[in-house]
Structure 1
Amino acid sequence: MASTATKQHYDVVIVGGAVNGSATAYFLANNPDFTGSVLVIERDWTYAQSATALSSSSIRVQFSNPINIQISRFGAQFIRDFGQLMEVGGDTPDLNFKENGYLFLADQKGFDVLKRLHQTQLDNGADVTLMDTEALVRRFPWVNPDSLAGGTYGEKDEGWFDNYGIMNGFRKKARSLGVEYIENEVVEVLRKGDLVTGVTLANGERISCDYIVNTAGTRGPTVARMAGLQIPVEPRRRSLFVFACHTPLEGVVPLTIDPTGVFFRPEGHLYLGGTYPKVDPEVAFDDFDVLHDEFEEEVWPILAERVPAFEAIKVVNSWAGHYDFCVLDHNAIVGPHNEVRNFLFCNGFSGHGLQQAPAIGRGLSELITYGQYRSLDLSALSYERVIENRPFLEDSVI
């Protein structure tokens, strides 16, 4: 049932209350230099179909762009400190961070790319080890090295964690700091010239504001269009499969990515896996059908070839989630529209939203409070690159 706001005006209205919306709300409310009011509007408090809830919930520093590396390095430390930072009433949430790293496997062509990226990663403080096949098999003996030339492994700041936990931690802490949350849906963005002035909700309620932050996930383009704006973002389906293995792998098992794009990681005593689909069309908001043939035809054959123990596996669970996919360059669009300066984008994460939420939320709060970035300069992710059709390319996309 829709809930109503307690006031008619807020300094900041955040549309979408999952991890990025709640991270932005937290960083605003936690900043003593910000003295305004914040309203978070979320259409579904179950968050059941949010990208946050349906994510594989992992973080990595193995990117090609320095800013993405820095975003994740901050995120990993934030995840480690999360319990202390999000403490409310003596409750310190534990995200159960499994810092097992990412293992990128590569054929000769891909290994040349990994070597190039490795230097960029080292230059930006990432702890990543470059391995030839001999070193690879010595460290991860369950890998079949056929067709491989080597790989890279993240020694630190990479792994997986509790996706619901990080969202709920941000949300609970933000509310304890005075942020107001309502369960409702924005149906209209009010605009006067080059300023947005407020929103209309599904129950007819009108709320005025000084800033709008669009953290609506796959519905982000819809919210933008309400303000007469456009972003190159669309929903793309990703199917995930949980499987049991007759012979569990021994030793440390990272999130492992085959050169084909097939990946897996431990999930308790089970394993979670999937792939970057070869056919990847836009899907409807409500299309969460799992592509079971994808596992049989694309995922399992590669798993069985790369990890001999995976010849005997059984799928025990599966689900599909959506990427808010940036078709320009697979990177997020963050910050103000070039003309409508009080409409802030936080869209198009293309599968990286959960891991990037701490740094992005902090950055947006700085823009609102100070008019500029003070920590990490996120201007490379700005909307201006969309206008100029200037992709911010990332070589390491999963």
Structure 2
Amino acid sequence: MSTENATGAAQEAANDPGEAGIVAKLSTLDRFLPVWIVVAMAVGLLLGRLIPGLAPALDAIAINGTSVPIAIGLLVMMYPVLAKVRYDRLDSVTGDKRLLISSLVLNWVLGPALMFALAWLLLPDLPEYRTGLIIVGLARCIAMVIIWNDLACGDREAAAVLVALNSVFQVIAFGLLGWFYLSVLPGWLGLPVADLNISTWTIVGSVLVFLGVPLVAGYLTRTLGEKAKGREWYESKFLPKIGPLALYGLLFTIVLLFALQGRQITSQPLDVVRIALPLLAYFAIMWAGSYALGRGVGLGYERTTTLAFTAAGNNFELAIAVAIATFGATSGQALAGVVGPLIEVPVLVALVYVSLWLRRRLFPAPSAPTARSGPRT
């Protein structure tokens, strides 16, 4: 069964009392997705630990601080999802002021402030890790959130608009917020200050690679495909063929990411636990709070789900690149960035299932047509 069909089945399962029967029809890959993700993480950690030269070799293949192998994995992962987006429906998203304003406030006001508070509350004696977590909180998600949203049957068009909005604010606000949360605000509160010296090109490069390339590719694929063969062929024939690439790309990316940092993570288990605690609190609070906000302002299931995942996720690729460029590859700040996906990946996968469970209980009526995502073939 293709990823497209699996996602559609997951959506039906969330509404159908015979959920177990539908889940049983999923392919082995889709049914045991959390297992494969954990296996991919374990394989990556073992490879990084057992093959000493692997991480430096992979890390050496980089352009402007961006790991080429990881970039390839992310592009493969994001392209099928962005090729599914109905770009002719984006105007229904941009006109939804509740969604856009909620997303901006959550991502650029509450998210960084929450991570700052948790980092200082739970890591007061570990300044390097604390700084690293604050950097993670500033890097709003523009990449992997696309696939979490799709697996949870969120609104694809809304996700495309919100990650594009995040990418624009990332270029504009990342450096300014880093200066505020690391140098200005601690000084006002009588706390030790840190310095963050980051090149704007690092941020621009992250946005262009992790969002720009697959977004343009997805748009051109749909536009040219529908023009040449028609929408019915595109959605019933073409999309099911490329759909599985999203999950293959995800697993490939996870293996590479943890292979790059496997030795660093496994050699400092207690430090990883300390860093994990504020991250766990952050993901839980941001996702639950965003979901409650979406429900409270009257958004349908699809857009509430999209709001929650785009607010809870972080651009750990950018955070790691910034930490390494500023403080060094072996710094505590870099380790904090690396632990980010170690915690984020399994937590957000679990939240996909929580979201589908909540759909049956909080959104019994079908969402309005304008809030629905594109057809799932």
TM over 0.5: no
Q: Greater share of strand residues, 1 or 2?
A: 1
TM-score category, normalised to shorter length: under 0.3
Q: Greater share of helix residues, 1 or 2?
A: 2
More RCO (CA 8 Å, sep 6+): 2
